[in-house]
Structure 1
Amino acid sequence: MIRIRLYEPADAPHLADLYARSVRHFGPRAYTPAQVEAWAGRADVERMAARCADGRLVLIAEDEAGARLGYGDLEPDGHLDFLYAAPEAEGMGVGTALYRALETEARRRGITRIYVEASELARPLFERHGFTLTGRNDFAIDAVPIHNFSMEKRLIR
């Protein structure tokens, strides 16, 4: 069973590690080795702690034993910046559980639009949850070209 809970400051090192492991495990399915390493290289405990303390909602998915299986966030304006599952949680529905909890909270807060920049890997999950594609973003991380997709979902009250 997956349990969803609020972020705590002690989670930051675990989330930075989960982020890097997730990108390195799932990334090669859609991105080159150079892209994967540039993306995974952004994992940093201090950066993670600062982002998680900046006013956004951060939810943690964990198992019965308290192992962190994934995390997701929602900024006050409806931007969903992170949604990552641990490699060992593949196929367990962690991304869906986190997304549903984030959407429920967005509705509770009166947010009428959730928007994301989804990777090739996350795009299908967001499409299954009713997001529409609004554009492709081509950019670079440490001079390595990479892309993602702008997507949004309008929430009906």
Structure 2
Amino acid sequence: MAQISHGPVRIRPYQPTDAASTRDLFQTTVHRINVADYTPTQIEAWAKRPVSMVAWHESLMAHTTMVAVDAAGTILGFADMAADGYLDRLFISYLHQRQGYASALLEALERTVPSSRYYTYASITALPFFEAHGFVVLRPNIATIGEIEFRNYLMEKAK
């Protein structure tokens, strides 16, 4: 995969050395951003600490995973997509929200993973972002982690 530049940020493929940074970014972002739409119990189940580093890394390696990095190499966000167009995760550091990094990651994955459709289970928090990028809600969904239920939305973008 080629490295893709987008303004002051560079989009590049995930590397094994990115595991700890992406895991920490995910957990911190859920605790800082998604807390506006989910209960503390839901947040804790969703971004449970600690997550096995091996399991985290393997889950990212199972998909096409891209990271957004600044000039110093600091990871600002990441996203991963399965071969069938399923966008599993798209997270931007709570310090770098609304600066175009999520859009750049989504665009890079759509260019890299050819699919007749792209789909995701979007959180309440992410719903407006995906709608702005051409995704439509197919149906509300209830996801379960352990015994904790979460509202999210199955969304699709036809190519």
Q: Report the TM-score when normalising by structure 1.
A: 0.91
Partners of 1:16 and 1:44 within 8 A in 2: no
CA distance, structure 2, for counterparts of residue 104 and residue 75 of structure 1: 13
Give the corresponding residue for 1:82: 89
Q: What is the count of residue pairs matched by the alignment?
A: 151
Q: Give the match's secondary structure for 1:41.
A: coil
Cα distance between partner residues in 2 of 1:152 and 1:16: 26
CA distance in 2, matches of 1:144, 1:74: 25
Q: Alignment partner for residue 54 of structure 2, among 37, 46, 61?
A: 46
CA distance in 1, matches of 2:19, 2:40: 26
User: Within 5 A, what are the aligned runs for 1:1-150?
Assistant: 1-41=8-48, 43-54=51-62, 56-106=63-113, 109=114, 111-150=115-154
**Structure 2 runs not aligned, ≥5 long:** 1-7
CA distance in 1, matches of 2:36, 2:119: 24
Aligned AA (2:86): H
Could you list the structure 1 runs, at least 4 aligned residues long, displaced by more than 4 angstroms after superposition.
none
More strand as a share of residues: 2
Cα distance in 2 for residues equivalent to 1:112 and 1:105: 13
Q: RMSD across aligned C-alpha pairs, in angstroms? A: 1.2
Percent of residue pairs identical: 36
TM-score by length of structure 2 reads: 0.90
Gaps of 5+ in 1: none
Secondary structure of the residue aligned to 1:19 is: helix
